[in-house]
Amino acid sequence: QSVLTQPPSVSGAPGQRVTISCTGSSSNIGAGYDVHWYQQLPGTAPKLLIYGNINRPSGIPDRFSGSKSGTSASLAITGLQAEDEADYYCQSYDSSLSGWVFGGGTKLTVL
């Protein structure tokens, strides 16, 4: 059972917009800790996609965007492409656990 809750799967057709939610609690996201997102393509290591809730590292297309409100955060992907098919993980810090926590991951399928 992950500390951060994500939907197991989402799907969308090419060109569409999808969102992935990440729900936490008052000891992590709700406590003001930032949320970060990773993309994990099949058989590869996770790659940083969004950091500090809304920021994209160099080289990440602006089709990817992040937001945070209260005890939740969201990742939005617009103009869905076949190569976006991957697992996506949110991550934050938890003060009760005094450590870093991940969501359970969301598998994105491009129809």
Partner 1 sequence: QITLKESGPTLVKPTQTLTLTCTFSGFSLSTSGVGVGWIRQPPGKALEWLALIYWDDDKRYSPSLKSRLTITKDTSKNQVVLTVTNMDPVDTATYYCAHRPYNSGWFDPWGQGTLVTVSS
Binding residues for partner 1, per CB under 8 A? 2, 33-34, 36, 38, 44-48, 51-52, 57, 89, 91-93, 97-105
Decide whether 97 or 111 has the Cβ nearer to partner 1: 97
Decide whether 13 or 69 has the Cβ nearer to partner 1: 69
For residue 59, what are its two tokens? 């080289």
Decide whether 49 or 77 has the Cβ nearer to partner 1: 49
Query: 47 and 39 in contact (C-beta within 8 Å)?
Result: yes
The nearest distance, CB 34 to partner 1, in angstroms, is 5
The nearest distance, CB 16 to partner 1, in angstroms, is 25
The nearest distance, CB 49 to partner 1, in angstroms, is 10
For residue 106, what are its two tokens? 């969301």
Burial letters for 27-60: b for 16+ Cβ neighbours within 10 Å, e otherwise?
bbbeeebbbbbbbbeeeeebeebbbebeebeeeb
Decide whether 47 or 63 has the Cβ nearer to partner 1: 47
